């Protein structure tokens, strides 16, 4: 006979306490992931100092940064909408965030195609560039998948004032991915 875990929940933690614990977990995860990017960024500086390639497409880089930053704006709106039970607002903002995220990925692909011609992975700068952008893009991709799952799971209106942690968690993760780009972009494109 199986025992349920229900009793584990109601005596142990109130929903408010559970929320705080979840938030702590997310921050710990974000702290850990920032060490990953720190490792890659420090590798870049160790090998190359502040040198960078002459052939970076700066306008494109700036554009995709703008796209990502804007996506965070919509992500914020999605979270707020969920918190207040505005289902349509939540769905629209989440969908927009996903769209902008995909646009970012397309931009990255375009950057890569140019990059392969001028600084392929067999060069030092190319090694740093493709690895940093690649790891970040992987995180963007997982964020997009998580947002899509939110959209799918939330289509029945389940995310509301009483239950918005999944939205909050995913959106905060999305913000983290954005902040990571705020460090990566200057490291690759701007420092001289």
Partner 1 sequence: MAILKGVLGAAVGYALGFALVAAVQLAMGNPVGGAAPVVIGSVLATAGWLLGVGLWRAWAREWFGLEPDRETPTGPGRYFRFTTDHKVIGIQYLVTFVIVFGLAGLLAMVVRWELLTPAADLGGDAYNQVMSLHGILMVAVAVAAVLGGLGNYCVPLMIGARDMAFPRLNALSYWLVPPVAALLLTAPFVGGWDSGWTAYPPLSVVNGGGQVLFVVAIVIFGLSSILGGLNAIATILRMRAPGMTLMRMPIFVWSVLAASIISLLFTQFFAASLILVLLDRVAGTTFFEAAGGGSPLLYQHLFWFYSHPAVYVMILPGFGITLEVLAHFSRKPLFAYKGAVAGFLGIVGLSGIVWAHHMFTSGMAHFMNIPFMALTELISIPTGLVFLSALGTIWRGRLWLRTPMLFALAVLFNFAIGGVTGIYLADVATDLHLQDTYFVVAHFHYTIVGGEIFALMAGIYYWYPKITGRMYREGLGRLHAVWMFLAFQLVFLPLFVAGIHGMNRRINEYVEPLQGYNTFSSVAAFALGAVFLVALGNLAWSWARGPVAEANPWRASTLEWTTSSPPPLHNFERTPEVVGDPYPYGEPGAAHVRPVVVPTIAGGSE
What is the binding site for partner 1 (CB under 8 A)? 1-8, 11-12, 17, 20-21, 24-25, 28-29, 31-33, 35-36, 38-40, 42-43, 46-47, 120-124, 126-127, 130-131, 149, 152-156, 158
Residue with Cβ nearer partner 1 (89 or 126): 126
Taking the C-alpha atoms of residue 94 and residue 71, their distance in angstroms, rounded to an integer, is 9
Residue with Cβ nearer partner 1 (26 or 63): 26
- What are the structure tokens assigned to 142, written together? 């997982």
Coil, helix or strand at residue 160:
strand
**Residue 69: CB minimum distance to partner 1, A:** 25
C-alpha distances (whole Å) from 75 to each of 8, 14, 99, 102, 134 are: 33, 27, 11, 14, 22
Enumerate the H helices of 84-164 as residue ranges: 87-118, 124-153
Strand partners, 160: 163
**Residue 66: CB minimum distance to partner 1, A:** 28
Residue with Cβ nearer partner 1 (30 or 110): 30
**Residue 189: CB minimum distance to partner 1, A:** 19
- What are the structure tokens assigned to 46, written together? 């160790």
**Residue 95: CB minimum distance to partner 1, A:** 16
Read off φ and ψ for residue 85, nearest 5 degrees: 80, 15
Residue with Cβ nearer partner 1 (66 or 163): 163
């Amino acid at each position: 006979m199986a025992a349920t875990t229900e009793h584990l929940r109601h005596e142990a933690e109130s929903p408010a306490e559970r929320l705080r614990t979840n938030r702590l977990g997310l921050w710990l995860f974000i702290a850990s992931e920032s060490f990953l990017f720190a490792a890659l960024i420090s590798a870049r500086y160790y090998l190359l100092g502040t040198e960078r390639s002459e052939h970076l497409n700066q306008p494109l880089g700036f554009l995709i940064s703008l796209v990502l930053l804007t996506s965070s704006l919509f992500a914020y709106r999605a979270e707020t909408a969920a918190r207040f039970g505005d289902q349509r607002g939540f769905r629209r903002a989440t969908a927009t965030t996903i769209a902008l995220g995909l646009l970012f990925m397309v931009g990255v692909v375009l950057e890569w195609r140019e990059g392969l011609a001028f600084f392929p992975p067999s060069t030092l700068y190319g090694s740093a560039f493709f690895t940093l952008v690649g790891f970040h893009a992987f995180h963007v991709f997982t964020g997009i998948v998580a947002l899509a799952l939110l959209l799918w799971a939330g289509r029945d209106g389940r995310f509301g004032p009483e239950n918005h942690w999944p939205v909050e968690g995913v959106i905060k993760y999305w913000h983290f991915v954005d902040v990571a780009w705020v460090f990566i972009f200057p490291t690759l494109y701007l420092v001289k």
